[in-house]
Structure 1
Amino acid sequence: MALTLADSNRIMAAAISQAEELNIKISVAVVDAGGRLIGLQRMDGAIWASAYGCQGKAVASAAFGRPSGEMQDRATAPTPAGIRERSGSEMIFGQGAVPIVQGGAVVGACGVGGGTSQEDEQCSAAGAAAL
């Protein structure tokens, strides 16, 4: 099953709602299973760089089917580093994105940037849980 734009909008709204509860300003991205962008939103007042960070973390999470932070310690290992390089260096192996799984398969990921690493992951998890 593929994520739709409506799914993406619901995921992003939930992540932003969580950010509002935490009183932080974020950017949130939703990508499909291949790491291609479906939706991106940047809250008023969120730093511009967060728009790039949330996408990179989401791509890494979708690619490896796990939270992006779990890849942090392996970021310089030959295989993950090689995959990142061959894919255009778009992946960010930092905490803040979670995969979206439906029917046992990774269908995409939600990534967040703008808060602390833990806040970003909390917001992305809230987004993914909205499905």
Structure 2
Amino acid sequence: MGITLEQAEAAIAAAKKKSEEVQVKMNIAVVDAGANLVAFARMDNAWLGSVDIAIRKARTARFFDMPTGDLGQASQPGGSLYNIEHSNGGLITFPGGIPIKNTNGEIIGAIGVSGSTVENDHTVAQAGLEAVK
């Protein structure tokens, strides 16, 4: 079974809380196992350009079932996945997207966060992930 709306909303609430703790404005997207958008939040005054990035981070994490930062490491010049970000209509290969698993370890969706440094994006996404566990 894929992520439920209730789980997606819990992930967004936790991510928003973490965003406020680190004092950043974020765009937060949660997709289901099919990489379809389930829930989205744009905090007041979050960057407009990060709306698309958050959604693409979530979709990228689900497409490849790995954190986007890990995919980014493999896609550097000379890497085995160099230029992969040009596939699938455009991927995001820097931190801030993380797959979400159920208690059986099956991927049920993913979260993507954008609006600050990649370190903050990842931290906020991780908080959203933890809310679903």
Task: Give the TM-score, by structure 1 length.
Answer: 0.90
Q: Specify the SS of the correspondent of 1:47.
A: coil
Cα distance in 1, alignment partners of residues 38 and 118 from structure 2 = 22
Structure 1 moving runs of 4+ over 4 Å: 76-84
Paired residues of 2:75 and 2:93 also in contact (CA < 8 A): yes
Cα distance in 1, alignment partners of residues 84 and 112 from structure 2 = 22
How many Å apart are 1:75 and its aligned residue? 2.7
Q: Equivalences for 1:76-87 in 2 at 5 Å? A: 81=83, 85=87, 87=88
Q: Specify the SS of the correspondent of 1:130.
A: helix
Aligned length: 129
Partner residue of 1:49?
Answer: 49
Task: Give the TM-score, by structure 2 length.
Answer: 0.88
Listed one character per residue, the Cα deviations across residues 23-51 of structure 1 (whole Å, up to 9, x for unaligned) are 00000000112211111110001010111
Q: Which runs of 5+ in 2 are unaligned?
A: none
1:100 corresponds to which letter in structure 2? Answer: I
Listed one character per residue, the Cα deviations across residues 90-114 of structure 1 (whole Å, up to 9, x for unaligned) are x211111111011111111111000
Matched, 1:67 2:67: yes
Partner residue of 2:39?
Answer: 39
Partner residue of 2:131?
Answer: 130
Please report the RMSD computed on the Cα atoms of aligned residues, expressed in angstroms: 1.7
Partner residue of 2:121?
Answer: 120
Q: Which runs of 5+ in 1 are unaligned?
A: none
Partner residue of 1:99?
Answer: 99
Q: Equivalences for 1:18-37 in 2 at 5 Å? A: 18-37=18-37
Q: Specify the SS of the correspondent of 1:30.
A: strand
Identity %: 33
Paired residues of 2:85 and 2:92 also in contact (CA < 8 A): no
Cα distance in 1, alignment partners of residues 101 and 86 from structure 2 = 22
The 10-residue stretch of structure 1 (71-80 or 46-55) with the greater mean CA deviation from structure 2: 71-80
- The alpha-carbon distance between structure 1 residues 23 and 79, as it changes in their structure 2 partners (threshold 3 A), is closer
- The alpha-carbon distance between structure 1 residues 20 and 84, as it changes in their structure 2 partners (threshold 3 A), is same
Cα distance in 1, alignment partners of residues 118 and 85 from structure 2 = 23
